[in-house]
Structure 1
């Protein structure tokens, strides 16, 4: 699962990306927008309930609602948050 697959590049707007891990926290911004909750649910093969996703796929905890995506990698304990800036 690649985090880039959740992003529409060059589609106007800015995204704030925060990565937390043992080595500290890294924050950056990038151009683009998040795909819709429905698109991401379809990509992951899960159902969105009430416009949200809260599931585990391939050892990654995925939480998403409109404009905000959180990924928590169980293997390394790292977290990634992508949200509108």
Structure 2
């Protein structure tokens, strides 16, 4: 059985990157790498749990981690850290600050 499973397109069709973030206490560091440039910022909030995000994406979390390709976006997550790599080569990393 492959470790990378496709998600259900209907579930993730209108999902935005903000869907992974819970408003409230905490600080997150967001890093975006695009076209050789890097942009870093911090924001208030916290990442949703690995299990919540796995359910949102329609994939399985194994040993508290997610590694999947969802609608052309490579998603890697473990507690406190989320990485998205888009088909264009752009990358976004969200982690606890």
Number of aligned residue pairs: give it.
83
1:78 matched to 2:90: yes
TM-score between both structures, scaled by the size of structure 2? 0.83
CA drift at 1:23: 5.0
Per-residue Cα deviation, 1:14-60 (whole angstroms, up to 9, x for no partner): 00000001050000000000000000000000000000000100000
List 4+ stretches of structure 1 deviating above 6 A: none
TM-score between both structures, scaled by the size of structure 1? 0.95
Structure 2: runs of 5 or more not aligned = 1-14
Partner of 2:22: 8
RMSD of aligned alpha carbons: 0.8
Task: Mark the structure with the bigger radius of gyration.
Answer: 2
5 Å-filtered alignment, 1:39-58, equals 39-58=52-71
